[in-house]
Structure 1
Amino acid sequence: MRQDIGDNITAMYGLEAAMPKPQGNQSDPILQEYLRREDEWQDIEKLKKKVVFVQERISCIHNDKERAVLNRILDGMSLRAVSRQMGLSHTHVRNIRDSIVSQFTEFPKSANFPKQTGLKKEVSSG
């Protein structure tokens, strides 16, 4: 889309064309908003790929302690907060995290994971 929009949207004629041009940021607010949103969407796509990667491989974690650490990390807790909450040393929690990561890299993605949506289907209880 950037190629279609271009940087110079309006042409200048007459005296206006001979006047000095402003230096610095783009003056078109619509182009600026488009560029901001495009960067945001790229960040969201990267994050979505990471979440799908974890969701596809979460079934390979069978150890209860590893699963508890993984769930807390997925909830957004830092390793130090996890270690305080679980009563483990920070180093031990880091080793558990490293073990989880190594299991993720060795484990192929789950066969029962739906490929169409990229997300697990929720089961309704009603």
Structure 2
Amino acid sequence: MSRLPLTGTTGTFTWRMLASVLGGQGLVILLGALVARATALAEGADNAQTLLWLGVALGVFAFVTAGLMRSPIGLPLGWLVQVLTWASAVVVPAMIGVGLVFTGLWVLCLVKGQQVDAMMAARESDAEAAR
């Protein structure tokens, strides 16, 4: 197995899979933002609105990053979304579970996506040679 890339472009299948992961992750992050706000309000904290908007910003960032997965900047931004999701566990401890699930999916899609892209390239090469 090759090492996980942190930068650069990915194949078509890979970026589609990674964008799907980020889309789902963005939805869950938005729900986590609501939990952060509700928890802060229940505790009487003054920063409930700030936590909500930070969570919304992270969720929107995940959606924007999903749209940028075709470009060279998409992969590093995707890794940043993973790191920030883990960091959000400081506010909402349940985000550890979200981080585990979505970082696992991110790595799985990155590894398997590269394998599928390589198989598709080999198949296209064989088809081209047969012509």
- Asked if Structure 1 and Structure 2 have the same fold, meaning a TM-score greater than 0.5 normalized by the shorter chain, the answer is no
Larger radius of gyration: 1
TM-score (norm. length: structure 1): 0.35
Higher relative contact order (CA 8 A, sep 6+): 2
For normalisation by structure 2, the TM-score amounts to 0.34
